[in-house]
Chains A and B, each alone.
Chain A
Amino acid sequence: MNDPTNQTPTVDRREFWRIVRSLAVACVLAATVLGIVFTRTEPSIRALTIEREQETVRRLLDLPDSARIDEIRRYAGHAVTGYLMPTTLRVHTEEGSLLRQIPVPQALQAAPAEERDRWVTEQLGDAELLGRFFIGRHPKGTVAGYVTEASQYGFKSLIRFFVALNPIFQIQGVEILAHEEDPGLGAEITRPWFRNQFIGRSVDDLATLAVVKGPMPADRPATVTADTPIYAVTGATISSRALTDGVKQAVAHLQYRVRLLGIADGGDNE
């Protein structure tokens, strides 16, 4: 090894193992620390996420803390769509007709979402979570409104948002959950003055709703009519259009699903 004429460098085996040991010990220690911290913090992180979501839904629908919020999860299986309701899993064909209903085991009804996802995968053979929506209920159980989660490509990346609707499908609020639009430009769509323009629009209004380049005129009436347009954020027409298109689609899809599941008629008043 000390021979200067030796052309190929030989590996010092002891050195090699020392390096391996040094790295391995560092990795094992780091993994142990992370594992301990993860198991300590994960339950409260998950509880907080659910709590925050429920709070947002209640606020959007203007419901008291005592109101019940049901989550409906939608899955794609083999040529079927699964809707996980609080107590039943409804399996529909892609055309919409009901194939079968499977009761959710008692133990799973309050289980974490991942466990319920796993159970649905077992029932359908293969399932992928496509989306979710929430039903807000008055203490008596009647429907107080809906909140649907949706996303749409903006100028930079996906804009994720909630749309809240009252029982007759008029928009009660739009809330941006996540986005990557430019601060000061596209990010202005998260401001109340912009997203509150959707409030009061009905399904029919949305069909003809137009986006015009801003700025919003000072004399815009407080109550919207069928032909009041959405005034885009100045310098961010693409982001404004994207959110408007996303809201239109989200409302149309929600209305279809609510009818399909018979929620509005009180048919599935679980």
Chain B
Amino acid sequence: MVNVLDIKVLRDLWSMRLQVLSIALLVAAGVAVFVMSLSNYLALVGAMEAHYRNERFADVFASITRAPLVIVDRLREIDGVGIVEPRVAKAVRVIREDTNLPISGRVISLPASGQPLLNRLHLVQGRWPDPLHPEEIIVNAAYAEARAMRTGDTIDVVLNGRLQDFRVVGSALSPEFVFATRAAVPLPDDRNFVVLWASEDAVASAFDMQGAFNDVLMTLAPNASVPHVLEEVDLLLAPYGGTGAYDRSDQPSHRFLKDELAEQETLSMVMPSVFFGIAAFLLNVVIGRMVEAQRGQIASLKALGFRNLTIALHYFKLVSAIALLGTAIGLALGRWFAVGVVGAYRAFFRFPLLEAQLEPWLLVVAMLVSVAAANLAAATAVYRIAMLAPAEAMRPGTPPALRTFGWLQTIGSKQIPLQYVMAARTILGRPLRTLLTTVGIALAIPLVLFGLYWFDAIDHMIDVSFGRIERGDAFITFTEPVSADALYELQAIPGVLKAELQRVVPIRLRAGHRTYRTSVTGLESGSELKIPRDSALQPIAVLSDGIMLSRTIARQLDLDLGDSVTIEVLEGNRTVRDAAVRKISDDILGASVTMERTALNRLMREGDVGNVATLRIDPRQSELLWSSIRLMPKVEGSSVKALWLALFNETIGGMVLVGALILAGFGMLIAIGVVYNSARIALQERAWELASLRIVGLTRREVSAVIFGELAVELIVAVPAGLLIGWYLIELIASARASESFQIPAVIDPSSYAIAALLVIGAAVSSFIAIRRRIDTLDLVAVLKARD
């Protein structure tokens, strides 16, 4: 036979269905955000690992000018080195008829066997080049997509100064170009950077590299000592123009990916976990009050002889059912959103297989946390009531605080309508409950703010990085350093409003045992197109001596102002020189090393030269301008800020904003859940009292003032407190999560505060309206019959 108490569980669930639903939605929001975000983040990490594993991403990388292939055997002999794969990799230019923009690229040789041993290709489309047809090539999928290239299309490539036609036979993903970034361009620009894989013969003959290689990939044996291997490789390759071996942590694509994942970790793991934690806390508050409102029933059950444990179990069933319902809704919603968000990820993270998947352990955690939070609250409430004598607990309503709060009278209680005195006494007389409800409402605000914050952070990041620091409209990279005369030539082109020459040199910074591989940018003194800034966004002048480091690099190398750092130049004369850290800049995007250009030229023992030009251009003349620039000698590639900013908005922007909108939406759902339940339970606890007021002749409006007065005060305290908590949590998360490439600024626009506050107030108002309808329909006669 069915236990009667179990029937009561079902009936209670049904009779409180709106309340049950709102609590379940609160749980659902927390679970959905948690499960979706973590699953997606784990899917990203999993996809990266699978890509690296399946395509055998190398552990160590080295470039040289030219070395005979016999050296490869000696590399293999180094203790700790596993597979060694030599190849030829060279910078190239691509010419397209549909654009005047110079497109730079990199051509990489494929062994005669097709698939290389390391950094293998994952064919997305087409087939492998036929070794008998040296004109056949594979392009990277990102470029193929950005430029809508298909197999069979031809591509004009300038190899070693000679224009050559190639035919695209396929497009591929490679673990070393998940993000195809270049020095001097802060973000990947898939439209203007291409990776080409061609047969060994074609590349070697074009660059006169038969029997030689200029790039080598290696794997490490298990337990190999990375510094030892790098040192040995450097020693061996130095005579061949080695620019220094490096491991994955310095590989540009991996570094960018790692920082991007760190960013995602904040958005997808830290915030959702905090979010879910807050939701669980709110569930606890709401369930606690809900069970407490049943004190009469608990007391009656006790009076009838039910044991505390039996009563507690009864409530466990009730609240577990609510928590499980919420979890189930949350999982369904989470799964649904996960598919959408992963779709947005795919445009940005180029992995062969990136699928949304629900991690089973996440489901278990989500379920356990919600059920535990609900049951803990129920247990606490049941225990509190069970500790009272049944007779005491059976008294109607919740006993009010029996304190008059004298000042309530003296500040003119004669004038204050008594319904407000009632509200004030409830607030003051039960400070803990008031605090919990207030904190509950307050915590809904950070949840909404978490979402809105990302919009602001990205806006700020773009504004600072591309509005205030990188002020040029376009970059041109040169195949080799050009003299300052080239600058005059550029400035003479119609449409070029201003041009500045930069010298960008790959370097390794060394401070004690710490090293950091990057490039140094030599800026003209008084540069206007790139202005390094400090954390207060004040410009930092580039000094004619010493070096300026980004704060993240300074931190990694444990350097401070005035410290000395060794600069090892990784090209040309391989100069090694010590320099003093004279300034520290605060970059939001990327981590820069800056010197004055002439100082860098001196360091390089070269004349007044540069290899990157930054331009301010007149957009109306851009077509003419680019057609002139394309004809200039030594131009390697270009990048137009407006174009990759648009790309950025489509990819990173789209991806982050989808997540942000979901966070904000669920935050609001939780806000409604908390406010509605607070009001609903307040009404439940006082229905008898309110009906009594109605009977003696108070109007609905006057009676509503009791509940609304209470909630209004809680809301007035909660909203500013919530804004403050939101600000603090975001500050905390942002500062704890600053990564190397991105430092998400803890910037929240006033409008976001306003929106978060308005959304929560809106949630409160709609809850008020729902509750007001219940007050209007209070059954006065029923109240006289039953006291509870």
Are both chains from one complex? no
Chain A residues within CB distance 8 Å of chain B: none
